Amino acid sequence: MISVDEAKKIIIENVHPLEPVQVHFQDALGFCLAEEVLSDIDMPPFNRSAMDGYAVVAEDTIVAPVILKIIENIAAGGMPEKKVSRGCVSKIMTGASVPEGADAVVKFEDTEDTEDESRVKIVKSVKGGSNISKRGEDMKVGQIVLHAGMPVRPQEIGILATVGKSKVKIYPAPTVGIISTGNELVNVEEKPSSVQIRNSNSYSLASQARRMNTAVEIFGIVRDRKEEIVREIKKGLQKDILILSGGVSMGEYDLVGDVLKELGVCIYFEKVALRPGKPVIFGKKDKTWIFALPGNPVASLVTFELFIYPAIRKLMGFSSLNRIVVKAVLKTDVSTKRKRREFRPAVYQWKESELSASPVEWHGSADLLATTKANCLLIIPEEVEKLSKGQLVDIILLDNNY
Ligand code: AMP
Ligand code: MG
């Protein structure tokens, strides 16, 4: 049995980003760039007014208040036609090109109208350069504006638009297949008998994968029979990631481990010292990464976040692979059985400048409903016997990406 950290290390060291693909820039949201992006323009493309006001020769305003002559009116997108010289100003709008000769813009609020419409009173002096964004101050032609490996968020989409990069290379998301095993499982539409339960894992796992932008196919439920499991796994091997749920423990009907070995899957590990979810198999066959998770719904949820989440992030080219861990003040005493690192569904809140967390009440790793009240996982380290109220603990935030 290996530790959680060792298991993660094995995954991260072996999984590598998928071959980049080119997409329309709007479809890059949530993915990582697989190329450097250069600007084809200076930004701003001209000396640009940052205010509505008057373009002036700054020296004219030293003696403010001063009355100056208006020679032109320049709107954004309009080309200035007149040169500003001493004693003259051009009325100018935000985003417009500053005319030749002017070296500052006085904002409207620092001016007053005069009886003569062709003249304006400047009431406050400005320094040279005031309220002008210099050509190329944000970016220059040929400058690398976005780097390979950067996650694409709305602001990166805006930069791609700014520099006219309508097609861009990204690392794609893996395709994911999901198989649930278990004689007791029935489909969602069916009413379970007294010894059956509905298959929920296929859908919670699919949702965990889908919210990472992957394309997921849910394969059917398979019975705990080798031929059925083999048949479905063979279908699943067209995917980049194949997730199996159930059938990985020590029971008589837990056949998944044997089947994977018989199929020639290269197994990297099959037991991890954690709670819930000790039996977790990680392997590879051809191009497909295989994860076989325990069937208990909370174990399935937790092991996805711990092991499949970083694998998908790595395949997608991200450099931050794990969910965010932060420190919070524990609100209640928590006891544990030690030896294995434990992940307890918990709820955190930010109140009165303090981040605090407490585990939600739950009945163990089958109690999926308890997790609907949770928004994080409390980490209980292997070596501790008890966590005490008031102490700082690590929590894994579950519902935020990037
Ligand atoms: P297993 O890992 O196959 O021993 O299953 C452990 C527990 O999880 C059993 O109580 C199963 O009924 C339950 N379980 C297994 N697969 C699923 C599933 N797909 N959806 C919901 N519960 C499941
Ligand atoms: Mg089973």
- The neighbouring-strand residues paired with 392 are 329
Predicted confidence (pLDDT) at residue 400 exceeds the cutoff of 80? no
In a domain, 400, yes or no: no
Average pLDDT of the residues in 124-138: 97
The answer to whether 98 touches 108, Cβ cutoff 8 Å, is: no
Question: Ligand 1 pocket check: which of 187, 218, 245, 259 to mutate, most ligand atoms within 8 Å of Cβ?
Answer: 245
Predicted confidence (pLDDT) at residue 401 exceeds the cutoff of 70? no
Predicted confidence (pLDDT) at residue 300 exceeds the cutoff of 80? yes
Q: Mean pLDDT in the chain?
A: 96
The fraction of the chain above a pLDDT of 70, given in percent, is 99
Are residues 218 and 349 located together in one domain of the fold?
Answer: no
* Residue 39's CATH number: 3.90.105.10
Instruction: Tokens 């969910």: give the residue.
Output: 323
Q: Which of 340, 332, 329, 401 is nearest to 365 (CA)?
A: 340
Average pLDDT of the residues in 72-80: 96
Q: Which pLDDT tens digit goes with each residue over 319-342? A: 999 999 999 999 999 998 878 999
Predicted confidence (pLDDT) at residue 3 exceeds the cutoff of 50? yes
Are residues 163 and 37 located together in one domain of the fold?
Answer: yes
Residue 44 CB–ligand 1 contact under 6 Å? no
Final residue of a domain: which of 293, 315, 337?
Answer: 315
Are residues 27 and 165 located together in one domain of the fold?
Answer: yes
Average pLDDT of the residues in 367-391: 96
Report residue 119 as tokens.
């003249």
Q: pTM for this structure?
A: 0.93
pLDDT, residue 40, reads: 98
- Answer whether the bond into residue 65 is a cis peptide, omega within 30°: yes
Are residues 31 and 9 located together in one domain of the fold?
Answer: no
Tell me, in angstroms, the distance from the centre of ligand 2 to residue 185's CA.
Answer: 9
Are residues 38 and 57 located together in one domain of the fold?
Answer: no
Closest residue by Cα to atom 15, ligand 1, is: 295
pLDDT, residue 339, reads: 87
Question: Ligand 1 pocket check: which of 178, 181, 183, 185 to mutate, most ligand atoms within 8 Å of Cβ?
Answer: 185
The residue type found at 288 is T
pLDDT, residue 338, reads: 79
Tell me, in angstroms, the distance from the centre of ligand 1 to residue 285's CA.
Answer: 24
Range of the structural domain that residue 68 is part of: 48-133
- The Cα–Cα gap between 371 and 368 comes to 5
Are residues 367 and 289 located together in one domain of the fold?
Answer: no
Average pLDDT of the residues in 49-55: 97
pLDDT, residue 337, reads: 84
Predicted confidence (pLDDT) at residue 277 exceeds the cutoff of 50? yes
Residue 281 CB–ligand 1 contact under 6 Å? no
Final residue of a domain: which of 315, 335, 353?
Answer: 315
* Residue 270's CATH number: 3.40.980.10
Tell me, in angstroms, the distance from the centre of ligand 1 to residue 314's CA.
Answer: 28
pLDDT, residue 127, reads: 97
Are residues 299 and 240 located together in one domain of the fold?
Answer: yes
pLDDT band at 399 (very low <50, low <70, confident <90, very high): confident
Q: Specify burial of residue 136 (Cβ count, 10 A radius: 0-12, 13-18, 19+).
A: middle
Number of domains in the chain: 4
In a domain, 237, yes or no: yes
Tell me, in angstroms, the distance from the centre of ligand 1 to residue 185's CA.
Answer: 8
Are residues 241 and 364 located together in one domain of the fold?
Answer: no
Sheet strands (E) in 305-353: 325-330, 334-335, 341-351
Tell me, in angstroms, the distance from the centre of ligand 1 to residue 193's CA.
Answer: 15
pLDDT, residue 402, reads: 43
Final residue of a domain: which of 133, 153, 182?
Answer: 133
Say which ligand is closest to the CA of 251. 1
Are residues 59 and 110 located together in one domain of the fold?
Answer: yes
Average pLDDT of the residues in 204-222: 97
SS3 at position 24 = strand
Q: What is the dihedral of CA 13, 18, 20, 22, to 10 degrees?
A: -140
In a domain, 371, yes or no: yes
In a domain, 82, yes or no: yes
Residue 317 CB–ligand 1 contact under 6 Å? no
Q: Which pLDDT tens digit goes with each residue over 97-116? A: 999 999 999 999 999 999 99
Are residues 229 and 274 located together in one domain of the fold?
Answer: yes
